[in-house]
Amino acid sequence: MSAAEPRIADRVRRIKPSPSSAAADRAGALRREGRSIVSLVVGEPDFDTPAPIRRAAAEAMERGATRYTMLAGTPELRQAIAAKLKRENGLDYDPRDIVVTNGCKSAIYSAWEATLEPGDEVIIPAPYWVSYPDMALACGGTPICLPCPEGQGFKLAPAQLAAAITPRTRWLVLNSPGNPTGATYSPAEWRALADVLRGHPRVLVMTDDIYEHIRFGAEGPAPHLLAAAPELRDRTLAINGVSKTYAMTGWRIGWAAGPRDIVDALATLLSQAAGNACSVSQAAAVEALNGDQSFVAASVATYRARRDRMAARINAIPGLRCTPPEGAFYLYVDCAGLIGRQTPEGRVLTSDHDVVMHLLESVGVALVPGAAYGLSPYFRLSIAASADILDEGADRIARAVAALR
Protein backbone atom coordinates (compact mmCIF):
# COMPACT_ATOMS: atom_id res chain seq x y z
CA MET A 1 0.00 0.00 0.00
CA SER A 2 1.46 3.35 -1.06
CA ALA A 3 1.52 6.30 1.30
CA ALA A 4 -1.06 8.04 -0.90
CA GLU A 5 -3.47 5.09 -1.00
CA PRO A 6 -6.42 5.48 1.40
CA ARG A 7 -6.40 3.09 4.33
CA ILE A 8 -10.07 3.63 5.11
CA ALA A 9 -12.67 1.63 3.19
CA ASP A 10 -14.72 3.51 0.61
CA ARG A 11 -17.99 2.58 2.34
CA VAL A 12 -16.78 4.39 5.46
CA ARG A 13 -15.37 7.37 3.58
CA ARG A 14 -18.82 7.84 2.02
CA ILE A 15 -20.45 8.61 5.36
CA LYS A 16 -20.16 11.50 7.81
CA PRO A 17 -20.28 11.71 11.60
CA SER A 18 -23.69 12.21 13.20
CA PRO A 19 -24.54 15.95 13.01
CA SER A 20 -26.33 15.87 16.36
CA SER A 21 -23.27 14.31 18.00
CA ALA A 22 -21.07 16.92 16.33
CA ALA A 23 -23.30 19.71 17.65
CA ALA A 24 -23.16 18.25 21.16
CA ASP A 25 -19.37 17.94 20.92
CA ARG A 26 -19.03 21.59 19.85
CA ALA A 27 -21.23 22.73 22.74
CA GLY A 28 -19.12 20.65 25.11
CA ALA A 29 -15.90 22.17 23.79
CA LEU A 30 -17.22 25.70 24.32
CA ARG A 31 -18.34 24.78 27.83
CA ARG A 32 -14.83 23.53 28.64
CA GLU A 33 -13.51 26.89 27.48
CA GLY A 34 -15.61 28.52 30.17
CA ARG A 35 -18.58 29.58 28.02
CA SER A 36 -22.09 29.38 29.44
CA ILE A 37 -23.90 26.98 27.10
CA VAL A 38 -27.56 26.01 27.00
CA SER A 39 -27.58 22.75 25.04
CA LEU A 40 -30.90 21.90 23.40
CA VAL A 41 -29.30 19.28 21.17
CA VAL A 42 -29.36 15.84 22.68
CA GLY A 43 -32.32 13.56 21.97
CA GLU A 44 -32.61 11.75 25.28
CA PRO A 45 -34.93 12.10 28.27
CA ASP A 46 -33.58 14.24 31.10
CA PHE A 47 -35.31 11.99 33.66
CA ASP A 48 -33.60 9.27 35.66
CA THR A 49 -34.49 5.68 34.80
CA PRO A 50 -37.43 4.73 37.09
CA ALA A 51 -36.44 3.15 40.40
CA PRO A 52 -38.17 -0.24 39.83
CA ILE A 53 -36.15 -0.70 36.66
CA ARG A 54 -32.91 0.19 38.42
CA ARG A 55 -33.76 -2.26 41.21
CA ALA A 56 -34.40 -5.03 38.69
CA ALA A 57 -30.92 -4.46 37.28
CA ALA A 58 -29.35 -4.59 40.75
CA GLU A 59 -31.23 -7.78 41.58
CA ALA A 60 -30.06 -9.35 38.32
CA MET A 61 -26.46 -8.62 39.22
CA GLU A 62 -26.92 -10.04 42.71
CA ARG A 63 -28.30 -13.31 41.39
CA GLY A 64 -25.39 -13.64 38.94
CA ALA A 65 -27.11 -12.68 35.67
CA THR A 66 -23.85 -11.20 34.41
CA ARG A 67 -22.83 -13.75 31.77
CA TYR A 68 -23.51 -14.20 28.09
CA THR A 69 -27.17 -14.61 27.17
CA MET A 70 -28.70 -16.24 24.13
CA LEU A 71 -27.59 -14.24 21.09
CA ALA A 72 -31.11 -13.14 20.19
CA GLY A 73 -31.87 -12.10 23.77
CA THR A 74 -33.04 -13.79 26.93
CA PRO A 75 -36.26 -15.80 26.63
CA GLU A 76 -37.76 -13.57 29.34
CA LEU A 77 -37.11 -10.38 27.41
CA ARG A 78 -38.26 -11.71 24.07
CA GLN A 79 -41.46 -12.94 25.72
CA ALA A 80 -41.95 -9.53 27.34
CA ILE A 81 -41.50 -7.85 23.96
CA ALA A 82 -43.99 -10.22 22.34
CA ALA A 83 -46.50 -9.50 25.13
CA LYS A 84 -45.98 -5.74 24.70
CA LEU A 85 -46.56 -5.96 20.95
CA LYS A 86 -49.80 -7.87 21.54
CA ARG A 87 -51.01 -5.69 24.42
CA GLU A 88 -50.21 -2.27 22.99
CA ASN A 89 -50.11 -2.73 19.21
CA GLY A 90 -52.43 -5.68 18.57
CA LEU A 91 -49.62 -7.61 16.86
CA ASP A 92 -48.97 -11.33 17.39
CA TYR A 93 -45.28 -12.28 17.33
CA ASP A 94 -43.64 -15.51 18.36
CA PRO A 95 -40.60 -14.71 20.54
CA ARG A 96 -38.54 -16.53 17.90
CA ASP A 97 -39.42 -13.72 15.49
CA ILE A 98 -37.77 -11.13 17.77
CA VAL A 99 -34.07 -10.32 18.17
CA VAL A 100 -32.73 -8.07 20.92
CA THR A 101 -29.98 -5.64 19.92
CA ASN A 102 -27.61 -3.11 21.44
CA GLY A 103 -30.04 -0.25 20.93
CA CYS A 104 -32.30 0.54 17.97
CA LYS A 105 -29.45 1.93 15.90
CA SER A 106 -27.81 -1.50 15.91
CA ALA A 107 -31.08 -3.11 14.80
CA ILE A 108 -31.50 -0.73 11.87
CA TYR A 109 -27.88 -0.92 10.74
CA SER A 110 -27.76 -4.70 11.03
CA ALA A 111 -31.01 -5.13 9.09
CA TRP A 112 -29.61 -3.14 6.18
CA GLU A 113 -26.22 -4.81 6.39
CA ALA A 114 -27.97 -8.18 6.17
CA THR A 115 -30.25 -7.34 3.22
CA LEU A 116 -28.80 -4.59 1.01
CA GLU A 117 -26.81 -5.38 -2.12
CA PRO A 118 -24.67 -2.63 -3.71
CA GLY A 119 -26.92 -0.06 -5.36
CA ASP A 120 -30.13 -1.15 -3.64
CA GLU A 121 -32.25 1.89 -2.81
CA VAL A 122 -33.63 2.90 0.58
CA ILE A 123 -36.52 5.39 0.49
CA ILE A 124 -36.22 7.86 3.37
CA PRO A 125 -38.84 10.60 3.92
CA ALA A 126 -37.28 13.94 4.91
CA PRO A 127 -37.03 15.36 7.51
CA TYR A 128 -35.38 12.18 8.76
CA TRP A 129 -33.35 10.95 11.70
CA VAL A 130 -29.82 11.97 10.81
CA SER A 131 -28.38 8.44 10.74
CA TYR A 132 -30.68 6.83 8.16
CA PRO A 133 -28.94 8.02 4.96
CA ASP A 134 -25.43 7.35 6.22
CA MET A 135 -26.31 3.90 7.53
CA ALA A 136 -27.77 3.03 4.13
CA LEU A 137 -24.57 4.25 2.47
CA ALA A 138 -22.38 2.33 4.88
CA CYS A 139 -24.28 -0.86 4.03
CA GLY A 140 -23.80 -0.38 0.28
CA GLY A 141 -27.22 1.07 -0.38
CA THR A 142 -28.35 4.28 -2.05
CA PRO A 143 -30.50 6.59 0.09
CA ILE A 144 -33.41 8.14 -1.79
CA CYS A 145 -34.50 11.09 0.34
CA LEU A 146 -37.97 12.48 -0.39
CA PRO A 147 -38.70 16.02 0.88
CA CYS A 148 -41.95 16.07 2.87
CA PRO A 149 -42.69 19.76 3.49
CA GLU A 150 -44.57 21.19 6.42
CA GLY A 151 -47.57 21.76 4.16
CA GLN A 152 -48.14 18.00 4.09
CA GLY A 153 -47.48 17.61 7.79
CA PHE A 154 -43.85 16.52 7.28
CA LYS A 155 -45.27 13.15 6.17
CA LEU A 156 -44.79 11.02 3.08
CA ALA A 157 -47.61 11.29 0.55
CA PRO A 158 -48.77 8.16 -1.31
CA ALA A 159 -48.12 9.80 -4.69
CA GLN A 160 -44.54 10.59 -3.65
CA LEU A 161 -43.96 7.00 -2.64
CA ALA A 162 -45.44 5.65 -5.87
CA ALA A 163 -43.20 7.93 -7.96
CA ALA A 164 -40.05 7.04 -6.00
CA ILE A 165 -40.23 3.24 -6.18
CA THR A 166 -37.94 1.73 -8.82
CA PRO A 167 -36.77 -1.82 -9.59
CA ARG A 168 -33.82 -1.10 -7.24
CA THR A 169 -35.97 -0.10 -4.25
CA ARG A 170 -35.28 -2.48 -1.38
CA TRP A 171 -36.49 -0.65 1.75
CA LEU A 172 -38.86 2.07 2.86
CA VAL A 173 -38.20 3.40 6.38
CA LEU A 174 -40.99 5.13 8.32
CA ASN A 175 -40.58 6.82 11.71
CA SER A 176 -43.77 7.72 13.63
CA PRO A 177 -43.80 9.86 15.72
CA GLY A 178 -40.85 11.21 13.82
CA ASN A 179 -37.54 12.75 14.74
CA PRO A 180 -37.15 15.75 14.28
CA THR A 181 -40.74 16.87 13.64
CA GLY A 182 -42.95 14.69 15.84
CA ALA A 183 -45.15 13.96 12.81
CA THR A 184 -47.44 10.96 13.42
CA TYR A 185 -49.22 8.87 10.81
CA SER A 186 -52.90 8.07 11.32
CA PRO A 187 -54.41 4.66 10.49
CA ALA A 188 -55.88 6.15 7.31
CA GLU A 189 -52.49 7.51 6.26
CA TRP A 190 -50.87 4.13 6.94
CA ARG A 191 -53.57 2.47 4.83
CA ALA A 192 -52.97 4.84 1.91
CA LEU A 193 -49.23 4.08 1.90
CA ALA A 194 -49.94 0.36 2.17
CA ASP A 195 -52.16 0.56 -0.91
CA VAL A 196 -49.14 1.82 -2.87
CA LEU A 197 -46.87 -0.88 -1.44
CA ARG A 198 -49.35 -3.60 -2.40
CA GLY A 199 -48.19 -3.31 -6.01
CA HIS A 200 -44.50 -3.63 -5.09
CA PRO A 201 -44.02 -6.91 -3.21
CA ARG A 202 -40.21 -6.71 -3.38
CA VAL A 203 -40.10 -3.58 -1.20
CA LEU A 204 -39.35 -4.23 2.47
CA VAL A 205 -40.68 -1.84 5.13
CA MET A 206 -39.01 -0.74 8.34
CA THR A 207 -41.03 0.98 11.05
CA ASP A 208 -38.97 2.91 13.59
CA ASP A 209 -41.35 3.08 16.55
CA ILE A 210 -38.97 4.38 19.22
CA TYR A 211 -41.14 7.44 20.07
CA GLU A 212 -44.48 5.60 19.93
CA HIS A 213 -45.50 6.42 23.51
CA ILE A 214 -44.43 10.08 23.42
CA ARG A 215 -47.37 11.65 21.64
CA PHE A 216 -49.79 14.34 22.64
CA GLY A 217 -53.03 13.83 20.74
CA ALA A 218 -54.29 10.66 22.41
CA GLU A 219 -53.51 8.10 25.07
CA GLY A 220 -51.41 5.03 24.39
CA PRO A 221 -48.83 4.25 21.72
CA ALA A 222 -49.08 5.61 18.22
CA PRO A 223 -51.12 3.65 15.63
CA HIS A 224 -48.95 1.01 13.96
CA LEU A 225 -48.64 0.39 10.23
CA LEU A 226 -49.23 -3.36 10.68
CA ALA A 227 -52.46 -2.77 12.60
CA ALA A 228 -53.77 -0.82 9.61
CA ALA A 229 -52.19 -3.06 6.96
CA PRO A 230 -51.64 -6.59 8.32
CA GLU A 231 -50.95 -7.89 4.81
CA LEU A 232 -47.51 -6.21 5.02
CA ARG A 233 -46.51 -8.43 7.96
CA ASP A 234 -44.29 -10.77 5.91
CA ARG A 235 -42.09 -7.88 4.71
CA THR A 236 -42.10 -5.44 7.61
CA LEU A 237 -39.46 -5.15 10.32
CA ALA A 238 -40.72 -3.34 13.42
CA ILE A 239 -37.88 -1.59 15.31
CA ASN A 240 -38.28 -0.36 18.87
CA GLY A 241 -36.59 -0.20 22.25
CA VAL A 242 -36.74 1.10 25.79
CA SER A 243 -34.52 4.18 25.42
CA LYS A 244 -37.00 7.02 24.97
CA THR A 245 -40.12 5.67 26.70
CA TYR A 246 -38.39 4.59 29.92
CA ALA A 247 -35.44 7.05 30.04
CA MET A 248 -33.03 4.18 29.38
CA THR A 249 -30.80 5.57 26.62
CA GLY A 250 -27.59 4.40 28.27
CA TRP A 251 -28.85 0.85 28.84
CA ARG A 252 -28.68 0.13 25.08
CA ILE A 253 -31.61 -2.20 24.52
CA GLY A 254 -33.50 -2.27 21.23
CA TRP A 255 -35.18 -4.97 19.22
CA ALA A 256 -36.45 -5.98 15.81
CA ALA A 257 -39.60 -8.02 15.24
CA GLY A 258 -40.35 -9.37 11.80
CA PRO A 259 -40.13 -12.16 9.25
CA ARG A 260 -38.19 -15.15 10.51
CA ASP A 261 -35.62 -15.14 7.70
CA ILE A 262 -34.65 -11.51 8.33
CA VAL A 263 -34.60 -11.93 12.11
CA ASP A 264 -32.43 -15.04 11.78
CA ALA A 265 -30.07 -13.18 9.44
CA LEU A 266 -29.78 -10.36 11.98
CA ALA A 267 -28.95 -12.84 14.72
CA THR A 268 -26.29 -14.49 12.55
CA LEU A 269 -24.73 -11.15 11.66
CA LEU A 270 -24.78 -9.96 15.26
CA SER A 271 -23.19 -13.21 16.40
CA GLN A 272 -20.08 -12.18 14.47
CA ALA A 273 -20.31 -8.41 14.83
CA ALA A 274 -21.47 -7.60 18.35
CA GLY A 275 -22.69 -10.56 20.39
CA ASN A 276 -25.61 -10.42 22.76
CA ALA A 277 -26.95 -7.27 24.40
CA CYS A 278 -25.93 -6.58 28.01
CA SER A 279 -27.41 -9.21 30.34
CA VAL A 280 -28.13 -6.75 33.15
CA SER A 281 -29.77 -4.27 30.76
CA GLN A 282 -31.98 -7.05 29.42
CA ALA A 283 -33.20 -7.83 32.94
CA ALA A 284 -33.97 -4.14 33.44
CA ALA A 285 -35.87 -4.04 30.14
CA VAL A 286 -38.08 -6.95 31.25
CA GLU A 287 -39.14 -4.88 34.26
CA ALA A 288 -39.67 -1.81 32.07
CA LEU A 289 -42.06 -3.67 29.77
CA ASN A 290 -43.85 -5.82 32.36
CA GLY A 291 -43.88 -3.47 35.35
CA ASP A 292 -45.71 -0.35 36.46
CA GLN A 293 -46.27 2.00 33.51
CA SER A 294 -47.17 5.15 35.48
CA PHE A 295 -43.81 6.76 34.61
CA VAL A 296 -44.77 6.77 30.93
CA ALA A 297 -47.94 8.83 31.40
CA ALA A 298 -46.24 11.20 33.85
CA SER A 299 -43.27 11.87 31.57
CA VAL A 300 -45.50 12.44 28.54
CA ALA A 301 -47.54 14.97 30.51
CA THR A 302 -44.31 16.80 31.34
CA TYR A 303 -43.20 16.78 27.71
CA ARG A 304 -46.61 18.11 26.65
CA ALA A 305 -46.35 21.04 29.07
CA ARG A 306 -42.82 21.79 27.88
CA ARG A 307 -43.93 21.60 24.25
CA ASP A 308 -46.76 24.05 24.79
CA ARG A 309 -44.63 26.50 26.75
CA MET A 310 -41.63 26.41 24.44
CA ALA A 311 -43.69 26.59 21.26
CA ALA A 312 -45.38 29.73 22.61
CA ARG A 313 -42.00 31.25 23.50
CA ILE A 314 -40.53 30.50 20.07
CA ASN A 315 -43.58 31.74 18.18
CA ALA A 316 -43.33 35.05 20.06
CA ILE A 317 -39.88 35.70 18.54
CA PRO A 318 -40.12 37.63 15.23
CA GLY A 319 -38.65 35.61 12.37
CA LEU A 320 -39.16 32.20 14.03
CA ARG A 321 -42.18 29.92 13.80
CA CYS A 322 -43.02 26.36 14.81
CA THR A 323 -46.06 24.15 14.71
CA PRO A 324 -46.49 22.26 18.01
CA PRO A 325 -45.50 18.64 17.27
CA GLU A 326 -47.82 15.67 17.64
CA GLY A 327 -45.18 13.58 19.38
CA ALA A 328 -41.52 13.00 20.32
CA PHE A 329 -39.68 15.70 22.29
CA TYR A 330 -38.46 18.21 19.73
CA LEU A 331 -39.57 21.42 18.10
CA TYR A 332 -38.70 21.80 14.42
CA VAL A 333 -38.43 25.56 14.13
CA ASP A 334 -38.85 27.41 10.83
CA CYS A 335 -36.13 30.07 10.68
CA ALA A 336 -36.76 31.31 7.13
CA GLY A 337 -37.55 34.72 8.61
CA LEU A 338 -33.92 35.11 9.70
CA ILE A 339 -32.32 34.22 6.37
CA GLY A 340 -30.81 37.32 4.76
CA ARG A 341 -30.44 39.25 7.99
CA GLN A 342 -27.07 40.43 9.34
CA THR A 343 -25.34 39.76 12.62
CA PRO A 344 -23.99 42.70 14.63
CA GLU A 345 -20.60 41.85 13.08
CA GLY A 346 -22.04 42.29 9.57
CA ARG A 347 -22.20 38.61 8.57
CA VAL A 348 -25.25 37.71 6.46
CA LEU A 349 -27.17 34.61 7.54
CA THR A 350 -27.61 32.54 4.37
CA SER A 351 -28.71 29.16 5.76
CA ASP A 352 -30.09 27.40 8.80
CA HIS A 353 -26.51 26.36 9.59
CA ASP A 354 -25.57 30.06 9.78
CA VAL A 355 -28.54 30.70 12.08
CA VAL A 356 -27.57 27.87 14.41
CA MET A 357 -23.94 28.96 14.52
CA HIS A 358 -24.98 32.55 15.28
CA LEU A 359 -27.11 31.37 18.20
CA LEU A 360 -24.29 29.21 19.52
CA GLU A 361 -21.47 31.72 19.18
CA SER A 362 -23.39 34.85 20.19
CA VAL A 363 -25.56 33.64 23.09
CA GLY A 364 -24.42 30.07 23.75
CA VAL A 365 -27.53 28.13 22.67
CA ALA A 366 -26.71 24.83 20.97
CA LEU A 367 -29.15 23.50 18.36
CA VAL A 368 -29.00 21.31 15.23
CA PRO A 369 -29.61 22.82 11.75
CA GLY A 370 -32.41 21.48 9.61
CA ALA A 371 -29.96 20.64 6.83
CA ALA A 372 -28.82 17.71 8.99
CA TYR A 373 -32.35 16.30 8.72
CA GLY A 374 -32.75 16.89 5.01
CA LEU A 375 -35.16 19.85 5.07
CA SER A 376 -34.24 23.53 5.43
CA PRO A 377 -34.48 26.24 6.66
CA TYR A 378 -35.29 24.88 10.12
CA PHE A 379 -33.50 23.94 13.30
CA ARG A 380 -34.25 21.21 15.84
CA LEU A 381 -34.69 22.18 19.47
CA SER A 382 -34.94 19.43 22.10
CA ILE A 383 -37.49 19.95 24.89
CA ALA A 384 -35.96 17.09 26.91
CA ALA A 385 -34.68 19.62 29.44
CA SER A 386 -36.02 21.32 32.55
CA ALA A 387 -38.37 24.30 32.37
CA ASP A 388 -35.60 26.57 33.71
CA ILE A 389 -33.18 25.49 30.99
CA LEU A 390 -35.81 25.87 28.28
CA ASP A 391 -36.76 29.36 29.51
CA GLU A 392 -33.12 30.39 29.59
CA GLY A 393 -32.68 29.05 26.07
CA ALA A 394 -35.72 30.97 24.82
CA ASP A 395 -34.50 34.17 26.49
CA ARG A 396 -31.11 33.85 24.84
CA ILE A 397 -32.55 33.05 21.41
CA ALA A 398 -34.83 36.09 21.62
CA ARG A 399 -31.84 38.26 22.54
CA ALA A 400 -29.75 36.96 19.64
CA VAL A 401 -32.56 37.45 17.13
CA ALA A 402 -33.26 40.99 18.39
CA ALA A 403 -29.62 41.87 17.71
CA LEU A 404 -29.89 41.00 14.01
CA ARG A 405 -30.18 43.78 11.47
> Domain extents for the chain?
10-48+295-402, 51-290
| Omega of the bond leading into 180 within 30 degrees of 0 (cis) | yes
Q: Cite the beta strand spans of 94-168 per DSSP E.
A: 98-101, 121-126, 142-147
- CA 33 to each of CA 26, 89, 127: distance values in angstroms, whole numbers, following the listed order: 11, 48, 33
Q: Which residues are 16's β-sheet partners? A: none
Residue whose C-alpha is closest to residue 103's, from 186, 172, 44, 153: 44
The pLDDT tens digits along the chain (405 residues) read 555 678 888 878 888 777 767 777 777 888 888 889 999 998 899 999 999 999 999 999 999 999 999 999 999 999 999 999 999 999 999 999 999 999 999 999 999 999 999 999 999 999 999 999 999 999 999 999 999 999 999 999 999 999 999 999 999 999 999 999 999 999 999 999 999 999 999 999 999 999 999 999 887 899 999 999 999 999 999 999 999 999 999 999 999 999 999 999 999 999 999 999 999 999 999 999 999 999 999 999 999 999 999 999 999 999 999 999 999 999 999 999 999 999 999 999 999 999 999 999 999 999 999 999 999 999 999 999 999 999 999 999 999 999 999
CATH fold of the domain at 10-48+295-402: Aspartate Aminotransferase, domain 1 (3.90.1150)
3.40.640.10, 3.40.220.10, 3.30.1640.10, 3.40.1360.10: CATH of 51-290: 3.40.640.10
Residue whose C-alpha is closest to residue 57's, from 275, 298, 246: 246
How many Cβ atoms are within 10 Å of 301's Cβ, its own excluded? 11
Residue whose C-alpha is closest to residue 310's, from 239, 367, 377: 367
- CA 79 to each of CA 76, 84, 242: distance values in angstroms, whole numbers, following the listed order: 5, 9, 15
